[in-house]
Amino acid sequence: MPICPTCENDLPDDAAFCNRCWSAVDRGRSASPWVEPPPPPASPWVEPPPPTTPWAPPPTALGYGGAPPSAYGTPAGYGPMGGYYAPPAVGTNGLAIASLVCSLAGPFTCGLTTIVGVVLGHVSLSQIKRSQQQGRGMAVAGVVIGYVSIVAGLLFILLAIIGANGSSPG
């Protein structure tokens, strides 16, 4: 059994090439001056070399802090890559603003807008929960100020009634 002179692999008797390193085995035959070896089998683990492109810039010497040139150019027909776009701004709920304004204006309107401010505050809180809008703090402030104003107004009326009945000369 012959042995390959390059890799010392055992070869079959009729082998013209080594099945490991593909080097030619000389057996003293001179039937043809040159025998083309069969191509090596394609291996899925070997990556082919990158193709040369006509639009790639020639390699240049890299200076301090320089980046190596790209082996591939920009493919034709493609524009610049897009970036991350922020979601559109949702905005503040208008009913929350109206609730706060109506609740704050309650003492100046004899409490008429206070009840409107409380109702608008509750409606705006449900809208904000569904639509993820901003303005939850204003809606809560409108509701709280409205309830405090209503309680303060009722307390004022109650004290006025008690004071009017208790101070009568008798």
Chain mean pLDDT for the chain: 78
Q: How confident is the model at residue 67 (pLDDT cuts 50, 70, 90)?
A: low
Residue 158: predicted pLDDT: 93
State yes or no: pLDDT of 138 exceeds 90. Answer: yes
For the stretch 16-47, pLDDT in tens is 778 788 777 776 544 445 667 777 776 666 66
Q: How confident is the model at residue 115 (pLDDT cuts 50, 70, 90)?
A: very high
Question: How much is the pTM?
Answer: 0.47
Q: How confident is the model at residue 166 (pLDDT cuts 50, 70, 90)?
A: confident
State yes or no: pLDDT of 64 exceeds 60. Answer: no
Residue type, 56: A
Lookup: tokens for 7? 């890799």
State yes or no: pLDDT of 13 exceeds 80. Answer: no
State yes or no: pLDDT of 119 exceeds 60. Answer: yes
Closest to 139 measured CA to CA, from 149, 129, 150: 129
| Percent of the chain topping pLDDT 70 | 62
Instruction: Map out the domains of the chain as residue ranges.
Output: 94-165
